[in-house]
């Protein structure tokens, strides 16, 4: 792994074993909290009314101004006429709720249980066939035959002179054959005698389309059988002594009698196809379209080809895919893993956060008892003129959505595990064990106080922004209605981040807005005053009087000591002083001279086999049992942890690296 020590931009606060429940109090308070925010690093919240605001000439590159009340779709502004920046109340409210959930051990309200959890592994899926039944679908084992012909869209084949001949034959595309199409074929087993099935996959010969009125019959003596076409995407170019062709991209699956699973669910297959679709170019569109036709119009007893796998022989869950090397879509969802910390669904048993901030879902609707106003900029902090509030425009590094497939970061390491996913883990003896994992906790971003953003090349993968500079003050208000003294004290503590120093001297604060992994968005927050509001009737004037008085009963609220310790660390501006905060990077640049984050993860996913009691690194693994993680993340620990037993694999990291992910989805 990388010898350059780094701290990953994000980490996790561990979940406590039991979720807290809100407690009712008879006396309640209403009023307003006035507070200030000071930017400690550049801050950016986009004005989405124009996604080409900075560089309208760059049609493929998005650029944004900071949020303001100006509608940029209707106003063409000049550099010297910038509007005053505004922090939306919704942005501040979301940040406060997330941190309140941490402090009070509340539910994880932002968890999306409908997200598809998946991961690419080295496992080679097996050939299978889905058989339509009256009740649904059954999964059968299949014989996987390779199809190689004399030319493109030509089903004639060349005689197989020797067992090595197929390695130098070019693979031609067969556009006339459709995914899932039924054909007749002869099967040629390479080798001879009892061992004839031991030399590679059998070969498909004498392919004929299956006409319903055809007189061709299946002849068991000659080995003539019925099969189903599965093509998939094109393979990468092969290079070597005699290898100048593409990998084969067409197979024929012939049904065997062994049934693998009755009444199998196709949801896993649908999820995999959706993931391929969302990549942009849908490599499996024809497969997906023909699968849908099979579902709608297929008759009982008909087959459709698929690849399948399962974690171990005891597992009742089957991974399905249109490719042999692919992504595993997992049975376990996030709600199973967070257990007691699932989003509240019973209004009579709410967590502290849902009780205060409210919750709306199909099972539970509870109104919020606080309202967060927009924060306006205090122009006096940098002198007159809104332009003083901004940094120079900058083009950022590409930022992507959270990669939940990086299970070595998002999941706790099971005991003695060398590789783990959302459905199973592999122990140091190579045993695959199905288990429900534990997540590392609630995600947060470390503070990085020495932010020096460097301009990047403009592409369609990154954005350009105009951030607010550090040292800018904003003013805001939070209105609360009928909350308990405990909740009010917690809210005051939360806003101050547990730090009662004056705003400019605070050592603790939060992360807000976009580009947090790059160090943007560190803010200090300080409560200025808390005013209680009450109303009473004036019988003589026949009106309602409003009464205001300062809140003077604040007491530092009690929190669980461990949570308070975690909270102090995650909000500490200087906890990572002099540390290299960065997404993981490899030691050496790639062929283009860039340090690619993906390369680090490629090198972190090693493979091994045991021989004579020793661990031997593998160049190209083909099973989940061979997978290992070299380093992994532990919650609240800035640096990654190495699996000590695997250190010998670090000696020659480049030699034993796996194929890039863009090549792993190709069929062998």
Same domain, 387 and 486: yes
- For residue 381, pLDDT beyond 80: no
Q: Is residue 587 part of a domain?
A: no
Instruction: For residue 226, give its domain range.
Output: 125-324
Same domain, 256 and 193: yes
Element (H, E) at 492: helix 485-495
Would you state the structure tokens that stand for residue 344, as one six-digit string? 């509240």
128 or 26: whose pLDDT is higher?
A: 128
Taken in order 350, 351, 354, 355, the sign of the CA dihedral is positive
Q: For position 103, what pLDDT does the model report?
A: 96
pTM of the entire structure? Answer: 0.85
Same domain, 102 and 138: no
Instruction: Tell me the per-residue pLDDT of 312-352, one tens digit each, with 9 for 90 and over.
Output: 999 999 999 999 988 999 999 988 898 888 888 888 999 99
pLDDT band per the 50, 70, 90 thresholds, residue 566: very high
- For residue 219, pLDDT beyond 50: no
Identify the CA nearest to 290 among candidates 247, 232, 329. Answer: 232
Same domain, 484 and 391: yes
Query: Where does a domain end: 559, 593, 615?
Result: 559
Q: For position 237, what pLDDT does the model report?
A: 53
Question: What are the phi and psi torsion angles at 321 (to 5°)?
Answer: -165, 160
Q: Is residue 574 part of a domain?
A: no
Same domain, 267 and 307: yes
- DSSP letter assigned to residue 433: E
Query: Where does a domain end: 542, 559, 576?
Result: 559
Same domain, 318 and 261: yes
Instruction: Tell me the per-residue pLDDT of 497-517, one tens digit each, with 9 for 90 and over.
Output: 999 999 999 999 999 999 999
Identify the CA nearest to 315 among candidates 421, 137, 434, 138. Answer: 434
Same domain, 216 and 351: no
Mean pLDDT confidence for 12-25? 88
- pLDDT averaged over the chain? 84
- Residues with Cβ within 8 Å of 346's Cβ and at least 6 positions away in sequence, in order, are 363, 364
End-to-end CA distance of the chain: 28
- For residue 370, pLDDT beyond 80: yes
Q: Is residue 279 part of a domain?
A: yes
pLDDT band per the 50, 70, 90 thresholds, residue 131: very high
Q: Is residue 329 part of a domain?
A: no
- For residue 664, pLDDT beyond 60: no
Least trusted range by pLDDT, from 212-226, 341-355, 629-643: 212-226
Q: For position 576, what pLDDT does the model report?
A: 92
Least trusted range by pLDDT, from 89-103, 470-484, 523-537, 579-593: 579-593
Same domain, 477 and 555: yes
Q: Is residue 120 part of a domain?
A: no
Q: For position 543, what pLDDT does the model report?
A: 81
Contact status, residue 395 vs residue 458, Cβ threshold 8 Å: yes
Mean pLDDT confidence for 199-228? 68
- For residue 235, pLDDT beyond 90: no
Q: How far is C-alpha 145 from the chain's CA centre? A: 35
- The percent of residues above 90 in pLDDT, for the chain, comes to 53
- Residues with Cβ within 8 Å of 572's Cβ and at least 6 positions away in sequence, in order, are 447, 507, 508
- For residue 190, pLDDT beyond 60: yes
Q: Is residue 401 part of a domain?
A: no
Same domain, 34 and 70: yes
Same domain, 48 and 154: no
Instruction: Tell me the per-residue pLDDT of 460-484, one tens digit each, with 9 for 90 and over.
Output: 889 999 999 999 999 999 999 999 9
pLDDT band per the 50, 70, 90 thresholds, residue 225: confident
Instruction: Tell me the per-residue pLDDT of 401-441, one tens digit each, with 9 for 90 and over.
Output: 778 889 999 999 999 999 999 999 999 888 999 999 999 99
Q: For position 563, what pLDDT does the model report?
A: 95
Same domain, 228 and 298: yes
Report angle CA 529, 530, 531 to the nearest 5 degrees.
120
279 or 240: whose pLDDT is higher?
A: 279
Contact status, residue 284 vs residue 233, Cβ threshold 8 Å: yes
Q: Is residue 294 part of a domain?
A: yes
- For residue 592, pLDDT beyond 80: no
Query: Where does a domain end: 559, 580, 597?
Result: 559
Find which of 232-246, 528-542, 628-642 is predicted with most confidence, using mean pLDDT: 628-642
Count the domains in the chain.
Answer: 2
Q: For position 223, what pLDDT does the model report?
A: 53
- Residues with Cβ within 8 Å of 431's Cβ and at least 6 positions away in sequence, in order, are 625
How many other CB atoms are there within 10 angstroms of residue 275's CB atom? 16
Would you state the structure tokens that stand for residue 526, as one six-digit string? 């300080």
Instruction: Tell me the per-residue pLDDT of 132-184, one tens digit each, with 9 for 90 and over.
Output: 999 999 999 999 998 877 667 767 765 555 444 545 555 566 777 889 999 99
Question: What are the phi and psi torsion angles at 651 (to 5°)?
Answer: -65, -40
Same domain, 487 and 351: yes
Q: Is residue 623 part of a domain?
A: no
């Amino acid at each position: 792994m990388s010898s350059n020590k780094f701290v990953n931009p994000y980490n996790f606060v561990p979940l406590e074993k039991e979720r807290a429940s809100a407690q009712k109090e008879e006396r309640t308070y209403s009023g307003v909290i006035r507070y200030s925010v000071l930017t400690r690093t550049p801050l950016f919240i986009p004005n989405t009314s124009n996604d080409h605001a900075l560089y309208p000439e760059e049609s493929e590159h998005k650029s944004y101004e900071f949020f303001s009340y100006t509608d940029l779709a209707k106003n063409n502004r000049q550099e010297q006429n910038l509007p005053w920046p505004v922090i939306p109340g919704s942005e501040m409210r979301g940040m406060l709720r997330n941190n309140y959930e941490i402090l009070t051990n509340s539910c994880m309200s932002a968890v999306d249980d409908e997200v598809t959890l998946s991961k690419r592994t080295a496992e080679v899926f097996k050939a299978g066939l889905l058989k339509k039944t009256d009740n649904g679908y059954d999964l059968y084992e299949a014989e996987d035959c390779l199809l190689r012909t004399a030319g493109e869209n030509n089903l004639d084949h060349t005689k197989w002179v020797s067992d090595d001949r197929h390695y130098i034959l070019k693979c031609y595309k067969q556009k006339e054959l459709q995914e899932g199409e039924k054909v007749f074929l002869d099967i040629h087993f390479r080798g001879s005698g009892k061992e004839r099935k031991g030399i590679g996959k059998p070969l498909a010969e004498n392919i004929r389309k299956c006409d319903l009125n055809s007189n061709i019959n299946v002849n068991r003596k000659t080995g003539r059988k019925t099969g189903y076409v599965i093509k998939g995407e094109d393979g990468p170019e092969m290079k070597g002594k005699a290898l100048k062709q593409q990998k084969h991209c067409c197979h024929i699956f012939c049904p065997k009698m062994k049934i693998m699973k009755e009444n199998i669910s196709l949801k896993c297959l649908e999820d995999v196809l959706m993931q391929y679709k969302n990549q942009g170019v849908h490599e499996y569109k024809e497969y997906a379209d023909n699968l849908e036709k099979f579902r709608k119009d297929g008759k009982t007893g008909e087959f459709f080809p698929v690849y399948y796998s399962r974690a171990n022989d005891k597992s009742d869950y089957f991974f399905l895919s249109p490719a042999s090397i692919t992504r595993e879509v997992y049975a376990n969802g996030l709600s199973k893993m967070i257990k007691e910390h699932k989003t509240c669904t019973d209004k009579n048993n709410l967590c502290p956060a849902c009780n205060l901030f409210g919750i709306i879902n199909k099972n539970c609707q509870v109104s919020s008892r606080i309202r967060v106003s927009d924060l306006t900029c205090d122009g006096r902090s940098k002198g007159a003129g809104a332009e003083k509030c901004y940094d120079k425009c900058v083009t950022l590094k590409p930022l992507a959505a959270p990669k939940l497939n990086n299970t070595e970061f998002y999941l706790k390491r099971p005991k003695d595990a060398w590789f783990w996913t959302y459905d199973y883990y592999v122990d140091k003896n190579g045993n695959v064990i199905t288990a429900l994992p534990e997540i590392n906790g609630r995600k947060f971003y470390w503070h990085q106080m020495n932010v020096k953003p460097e301009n990047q090349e403009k592409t369609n993968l990154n954005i350009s922004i105009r951030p607010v500079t550090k040292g800018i003050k904003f003013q805001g208000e939070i209105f609360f209605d009928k909350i308990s003294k405990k909740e009010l004290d917690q809210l005051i503590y939360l806003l101050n981040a547990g730090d009662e120093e004056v705003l400019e001297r605070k050592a603790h604060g939060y992360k807000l807005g976009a580009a947090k992994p790059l160090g943007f968005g560190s803010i200090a927050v300080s409560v200025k005053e808390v005013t209680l509001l009450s109303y009473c009737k004036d019988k003589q004037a026949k009106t309602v009087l409003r009464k205001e008085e300062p809140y003077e009963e604040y007491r530092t609220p009690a929190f669980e000591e461990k949570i308070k310790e975690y909270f102090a660390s995650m909000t500490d501006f200087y906890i990572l002083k002099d540390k290299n905060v960065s997404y993981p990077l490899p030691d050496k640049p790639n062929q283009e001279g860039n340090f690619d984050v993906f390369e680090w993860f490629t090198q972190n996913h090693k493979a091994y086999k045991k021989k004579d009691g020793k661990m031997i690194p593998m160049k190209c693994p083909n099973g989940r049992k061979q997978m290992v993680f070299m380093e992994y993340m532990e919650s609240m620990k800035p640096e990654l942890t190495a699996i000590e037993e695997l250190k010998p694999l670090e000696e020659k990291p480049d030699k034993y690296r796996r194929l890039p992910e863009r090549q792993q989805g190709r069929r062998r």
